[in-house]
Chain A
Amino acid sequence: MSSDRDTTRIVRSWLDEGVTTLPDRVLDQVLDQLPATPQRRPWWQAWRKHLMSNTLKLAMAAGVFLLAVAIGFGLYFGPRQNVAAPPPEASPPEASPTAPTETGSPQPTAGASPRSLRGFTDGEHLPAGTYLTDTAFPLRLTFTVPDGWEKWEPASDALGVLTVDGGVEPHAGFALWIIDQVYRDPCDVRLGGPYDPGPTVDDLAEAFRTMYRHERSTPVEVSLAGHHGKYVEIALRDDCDDGQILWKTSLGAERENVGTGDKNQLWILDVDGTRLVVMAAHNDAATEAQRAQLIQMVESIQIEAQPGARPSPRSFANAPPEVALAPGTYVIDRMFPANVTFTVPAGWAHWGVTSDSAGVLKREGDPPDGAGFGFFIVDNVPGDACRKHLGLQDPPVGPTVDDLAAALVKLDGVESSTPIDVNFAGHEGKYLELTGPEDLSNCVDPSWWLTSDRSGRGIFGPSEQDRVWILDVEGTRVVFNVMHYPDTPASDLAELDSIIQSVRIEPTPRGGFEED
C-alpha cells in the first residue's frame, strides 16, 4: 500500500508532465476577439480613479465641499418636503411625475423639451434638466436630473446617472435596468448564481425576496409613471470578501455593491411587455440631499408609449449551461461567428456555445424521446458515421455549401435524403435529412460531423433523425441542425417547428459578436 508521502510524490511527478506553453494560435484567437468583446464595467466604476489626476480630484473635492455647504444651508433653512420612499410594508403611493423642487439645484424649465441623453458620453457631467432615453435603451422615457450627476451607461440595457462627488466611488446612483439574471448569493458569485429568474415582474420580485444573506423587504404592489409592478428594498452586507454582484443584464452590465451601507430601492415595472427596473441606490456616504434627489428622479419618470415594443433578446452565452432556459427569445451574440436569434418555449436547456457550435436540448437529447437543435461551423465529415476512428473523408470537405451537402450524402452508415435548394432565414443553401443507425452498439463515437476545434456533433441515440440546413451567411457556412427520435412526443416536434420558424441568422463583424 502506498504511503501518503509516496502518493504525493508520485502525483507531483505525474503532474509535472505535460504542456507548459500556450500555443500562439490560441493567444492570437483571444486577441482577435478583444475588439468585439466589451469589458464588463462595475457599477461603481472603480477603474476611473486610475484615470483621474490628483489635480482633478482636488478640484472635484473642493467642488463637492462647496456643494455640500450650499446643500446643507438649503436643507437647514429651506422648506422640507416629504420625499421618503414608500415603506416596504405599506402600499406605496402612485409616484407623482411632478418635477422635484428641493436641494437648491437648478431646475428644468417647465414644458421644455427633454434633452437627448445620446448626446452625452459615459461619465460626462449632465447639466440639470429633463432627459430622454434616446440611446439604444429598449424603452423611451424621460427623467429629470438635478445638478451634480453624470451619465452612466455600461451597456445599452442599463442606463442612469451617478453622483460625481470625489470621482472615485460615487455615493449614489439612479438607473434603469433590463435585468436578465440574478445572483442567488451576491456574497458568493461563484456558488450563488447567476440564474435566470423568469420573465415576469413577479419572478424578479421573488428572486430578490429569496436572495441569500442580505436584508430585503417583502415585495409590495406599486405603480410608477402609470405602470404597475412591485417595489422591494435590498440592503447589502458589508462583510463579504469580494465585490458582490446582485444582477446582470443580457449585455453584461452588472450591479456590484459599493462598500459600506449599500442600499437599494427597486421598482420593477411591466412596461408594455418589457420588464423595467428603476433603481435608486446609495451608500452611507451619500448626503441627505443626494438621497432626496434619487427619489425625485424616480418620481420624475415619465414613460412614453412604446409602439411595437418587444423584449430585447437575452444573451444565450450568458445563460448557465445545462440549465433550462426561461421561455423567450435568445441571441447567440458571443463566440459563435454568426448572430443567431431564436425563441424557445419552456423545457429547453442550454448546452453550450463555442466558436464552432451552440446547442439547445430537451431531455438532454437522449433517446428515446429527446430532441435538440444547434448551430455549427462544420470543418469536416467522417468517412463512416459509425466508425469515425477510421478517418475523415478524403479529400476533405470543401468550403462551399454544396461541398458539405455532398459530403453528408456520402456519409457511410446512415440514410440521407437528396439535398434540395432552400432559402432559410434569408440565406440561400441546401436542406437535407439524415437518419442515424438503428443499432449503435458497434459504433465508436458515432458522429455526423466535426468542427475545427476537433469536437463535433455526435449521434446521440439509435434512429436519430436530423434535419440539416446548410446556409451561406454572407460567406460563412452555417449549419442549422434539428434532431429528434421516432418516439419524441408530437408536442415537442411542434415546439421544434415553432423554434425553426423563429430562427434569424445574421453575419457578425470580424467573426465575433457585435459590439453594443
Chain B
Amino acid sequence: MDTSLVLRAQDGDEEAFASLCLGVGGRLHAVAHRILRDLDLAEDATQQALLAIWQDLPQLRDPARFEAWSYRLLVRACYAEGRRTRRWAPNLRLLPTDEQVATDSLSPVVDRDQLERGFRRLSIDHRAVVVLHHYLDMPLEKVAESLGIPIGTVRSRLHYAMRGLRAALDADARPRAREAAQ
C-alpha cells in the first residue's frame, strides 16, 4: 500500500482516497461477501466501511497499518449490516444475483450447501476470523492486529469456527456413509 496516498487522504485529498479505494475496494468487497454470504449486504457493508475509513482516516496513527486497519472497519460494517437487516429491512432477494457458482475443486454440491449452512450459523466475529485467515492467508497475529483482539481470542474463535464447519461437513458425510454400507 502506498503510504503517501494514505497520508494525502488523511489530509482530505479525495483523489488520493479514490486511488486507495481502487486499491483495496475489491479485497474489502470480497471479504465482506465471504463474511455476509450475500452480495447486496456485502455491497452495503463495503460502502459503509469505505465511508468509515474516509471519516476515521485522520485518526490512523501509522499509515503503514492502513490495510489491516481497514479490515477492522470492514468487519464492524459487516457486523452492523448483519444486524440491521435481521428484521427491519429484510433482505428481499427478488432478482437473480450475479454470484458465481464454481465448478472446480469443490465438487460435491452437498459440501458447498453444508458449508454454507454451517458458516451461516457462525457469528460475524467467527466468520471474520475464518475469512481473514483462510481466504486472505493472514497469519493469526495479523488477524489479531486487524481485528483489534488478543491472539488467544483469534485462536479460540478459529478453533470453534472450524470445528463447526467440520461438524457441518461430517453431518452430511454420515448419511452418505450409511447409504454406502447398505
Contact = CB atoms under 8 A, between A and B. Distances in A.
B30 interface: yes
Given A19-B39, A19-B42, A454-B93, A10 B148 contact: no
Contact of A458 (B22, B83, B84, B90): B90
Highest count of chain A CB atoms <10 Å: which of B26, B85, B87:
B87
Given A2-B173, A34-B17, A42-B59, A455 B92 contact: yes
A459 to B, nearest CB: 9
A22 B28 CA distance: 8
Contact of B29 (A17, A19, A352, A457): A19
A33 interface: yes
A389 interface: yes
B46 A22 contact: yes
A10 B87 contact: no
A9 to B, nearest CB: 9
Interface string B96-109: 00111110111000
Contact of B148 (A21, A190, A458): A190
Nearest to B22: A27
B74 to A, nearest CB: 12
A453 B84 CA distance: 13
Contacts of B170: 1-2
Contacts of B87: 351, 364-365, 458, 460
A455 B89 contact: yes
B119 to A, nearest CB: 8
A23 interface: yes
A365 B88 contact: yes
Interface string A9-40: 01111111111111100110111011101111
Contacts of A391: 94
B166 interface: yes
Contacts of B105: 13, 16
Interface residues of B, number: 72
Given A357-B89, A458-B90, A26 B55 contact: no
Contact of B89 (A10, A15, A354): A354
Contacts of B54: 30, 34, 37, 39
B100 A351 contact: no
Contacts of A388: 92, 94
At the interface, is chain B mostly helix, strand, loop or mixed? helix
A374 B88 contact: yes
A2 B89 contact: no
B168 to A, nearest CB: 9
A50 B149 CA distance: 30
Interface in A439-494: 445, 447, 450-451, 453-458, 460
A287 to B, nearest CB: 24
A254 interface: yes
Contacts of A188: 148
Contacts of A45: 58
8 contacts: A17-B102, A18-B34, A19-B98, A39-B56, A47-B11, A191-B149, A321-B80, A361-B88
Interface of A: 1-2, 4, 6-8, 10-23, 26-27, 29-31, 33-35, 37-42, 45-47, 50-51, 188, 190-191, 241-243, 245, 252, 254, 256, 321-322, 351-352, 354, 356-357, 359, 361, 364-365, 372, 374, 388-389, 391-392, 445, 447, 450-451, 453-458, 460
